[in-house]
Structure 1
Amino acid sequence: MSPALAALEAAYARPCVPGGPAIGYVGADVPVELLTAAGFHAVRLTGDPGGDAAPGDRYLGRGVDPMARSILTRLLTGAFGELERVVVSHDCEASLRFFYALRELRRIEPGAGVPEAYLVDVLHLPHRTTARYNRRRIGEFAARLAAWSGRPLDLPAAIEAHDERRRLLAAVAELRRAVPARLTGAQFLAAANADLPLPEHVARLRELLAQSDRLPSWRGRRVFLSGSDHDTPHVYETIEADGHVIVGEDHSFGDPQAERRVGRGDLDALTEHYHESGPTAHRATAAERARHAATAVRRCRAELLVAYARTGDDAPAWDFAAQRAALDVPAVLLDRQDYGRADLAALRKEET
């Protein structure tokens, strides 16, 4: 067993206690480099599929993605400790509804202790006007962070550090793509999303790569997982316990974190990075998603695509027909799944 992997898995399973001010964030389009540049520890907020979501249901309604409802519940019950603020991106409708709920709660229930919320509205249309709009929004966010922290932002150093993390994570992803795989999908989630201060996360990823000869081989039907975000390992563990190995995915907690680097240390490069970030289900056409799936399946040497659509998150199911037509491997849709659960009946039916 790799000690570095064990440390990453432990950090993934428990919340980090930062040594300095922390800002929570929700959504794939929050430019975390700016949070680092301002001296904040960035905490991506996650839900709890097994927890009581009643407070979140009350304010968001049961028609909203249950992941967002669970995150709101955990925020209201103090599960994330002391957060300076919460930054939300407009990466999907659920994230936007989450932001509006936080803003209204601060207005109508000031005693509830809800942190101040800030919206980063990054759009993804392939237009020059969209790029200009995004540059203004990210510039405003940078200015706000400088005001919150009371110091100039060290953006070049922050971008360099996050790009190094991306480079290392891309190398870790290659361990999972090996035949046989050297990491399971759940282990990769832990490596990618361990809640550690950035310098420590980078150090642990380096150690994991140096200890790769200690990793076992994982055999099973190789799966590429498409669709809804997975902010916990529950679905991965269910699929992999059934004899599969998840060797790639297209949601924002997985491979897309390592697929592109920012490069230059300025706001223009940072804006371009987030404007052009990968084809997730909520911000790309079905044709773009199908092309991406076909390329990723080949790169991962996957033997099966599993499209997963959570109840309250319908967008991934809309792409499935185009994805299946673009592939030369079988594809299965797990539609309207409960948060944190995977009904494998369709998967097992495909195998018979």
Structure 2
Amino acid sequence: MTPALTALEALEDAYTRQGPRPSLGPVIGYVGADVPVELLTAAGAHAVRLTGDPALDPAPGTLYLGTGVDQMARSILTRLLAGAYGHLDRVVVAHDREASLRLFYALRELRRVSPQLDLPETYLVDILHLPHLTTARYNRRRIGEFAGRLAAWTGRPAGGEGLGRAVAAHDRRRRLLTEVAQLRRAVPARLTGRQFLAAANAGLPVDEHITMLERLLAETPRLPAQPGRRVLLSGSEHDTPHVYEAIEAQGYVIVGEDHSFGDLAFERQVGEGGLDALAEHYHDNGPAAPRATVAERAAHTAMAAARCHAELLVSYARAGDDAPAWDFPAQRAALEIPAVLLDRQEYGRVDLAALRKEDPCAV
């Protein structure tokens, strides 16, 4: 008899085989941290966050987006053109960064001029992040419009009591991820950065994900210590584990990060279940590199480094994603630990020779 998987193994498996599960209802793929997934859950949809594949030739996506766009977006478009995600009823894209917006426009135009490609209908959730009342009002209207569109797509209202239950479930998952994050912030760490990415981004419906995270926390005594030089990873988002695996293979352990596939995904809860609270939550959705000020990023980096007992800051800036390099001087000045900038990195790859050269304690 095959032994039962541990919770961590099951989460790793769900992370590795990300994909839609049509039996759960309408399948809606989404791109970007500003898509209010609570509304997708309330409408009875199975939400699938679309990710790229660094091993895939991005030429088809590059044909339409150009080489100046972040390769993660080009890879997602390439996979959509190839039907790599399986059946998707719709795709929702957030305006969380310029590359996401360019992806939305490309998908919308390709669907119009090339119907033979059979691309799903695409919708833009245009959440802005300026600290103004007018921006808050704008976001509230966009959230309301999105809820209405979901109701038209699914035949189920995305507000009311259903939204309250969905918000409660997603907030429960955020609280559990906060507890799981403590496992790698411990000294020594009990999870690697790669393992945490799997735990946080396993392709499971929210209720199943909650169950697996509860199991993982219950299995904490069985988790071994993870030695290594403790790294806080800043900069570009990592929608795949490739960079984490490469860095940790060199004797490091990534104990924190500041992108929306990691710590920023769960640090703030929605609280109330209404559309107003949801709009407020996504208006101020964490100090990510594309939308926060340099000072906000530096302050957050200093706090995060202290919280996870980091010994080294690694700022990773992917080619086509310039914001992290702008933040780096202020981040370095705010820290009492060494800091390394790895600029213009290829998607899914990292210049390990440059990391070893710049890290004063590298072996």
Task: Please indicate the TM-score interval, normalised by the length of the shorter structure.
Answer: over 0.9
TM-score in terms of structure 2 length:
0.96
Counterpart Cα distance in 1 of 2:104 and 2:168: 29
Q: Is the 8 A contact 1:23 1:86 kept in 2?
A: yes
Q: 2:164 is matched with which residue: 156, 160, 167?
A: 156
Map of 1:76 onto structure 2: 81
Summarize the alignment of residues 162-201 of structure 1 with structure 2, pairs less than 5 Å apart. Answer: 162-201=170-209
1:235 to 238, 243, 247: 243
Cα deviation, residue 54, structure 1: 1.3
Measure the CA separation in 2 of the matches of 1:199 and 1:259. Answer: 19
- The residue aligned with 1:102 is 107
- Which of these residues, 113, 118, 128, is aligned with residue 113 of structure 1? 118
**Deviating runs (4+, > 4 A) in structure 1?**
none
Distance 1:90 1:16 in 2: 23
Residues 334 and 344 of structure 1 are in contact (CA less than 8 Å); yes or no, is this contact kept in structure 2? no
Distance 2:64 2:238 in 1: 22
**Contact persistence 1:310–1:336 (CA under 8 A):** yes
User: Which string of whole-angstrom CA distances, capped at 9 and with x for unpartnered residues, describes residues 165-207 of structure 1?
Assistant: 0010100000010000000000000000000111111100000
Q: Deviations over 1:321-351 (max 9, x none)?
A: 0000000111000000000001022321222
Task: Indicate the residue corresponding to 2:18 in structure 1.
Answer: 15
Which residue in 1 is equivalent to 2:360?
A: 351
More off after superposition, 193-202 vs 224-233: 193-202
Verify: 1:45 aligned to 2:39, yes or no: no
SS class of match (2:256)? strand
How far 1:2 moved relative to its partner?
7.2
Structure 1 unmatched ranges of 5 or more? none
1:269 correspondence with 2:274: no
Aligned residue identity for 2:18: P
* Corresponding position of 2:68: 63
Residue of structure 1 equivalent to 2:327:
319
TM-score when scaled to structure 1?
A: 0.99
Return the alpha-carbon distance in structure 2 between the equivalents of residues 226 and 17 of structure 1.
Answer: 30
Deviation at 1:16, TM superposition (A): 3.5
Is contact 1:221-1:304 (8 Å) kept?
A: yes
Q: Report the AA paired with residue 295 of structure 2.
A: A
Q: Is the 8 A contact 2:20 2:88 kept in 1?
A: no
Residues 180 and 2 of structure 1, relative CA distance in 2, 3 Å threshold:
farther
Give the secondary structure class of the aligned counterpart of 1:263: coil
Structure 1 residue 51, shift from structure 2 partner: 0.7
CA distance in 2, matches of 1:119, 1:9: 30
The C-alpha deviation readout for 1:202-224, integer Å capped at 9, x for no partner, is: 10000000001110100110000
Partners of 2:5 and 2:90 lie apart in 1 by 36
Q: Percent identity?
A: 73
> How many residues matched?
352
Structure 2 unmatched runs, 5+: none
Change (3 A) 1:123 1:83: same
Partner of 2:259: 251
1:230-268 superposed Cα distances (whole Å, 9 cap, x missing partner): 000000001000000000000110011110110001001
Report whether the alignment pairs 1:137 with 2:137. Answer: no
Conserved? CA contact 1:16–1:196, under 8 Å: no
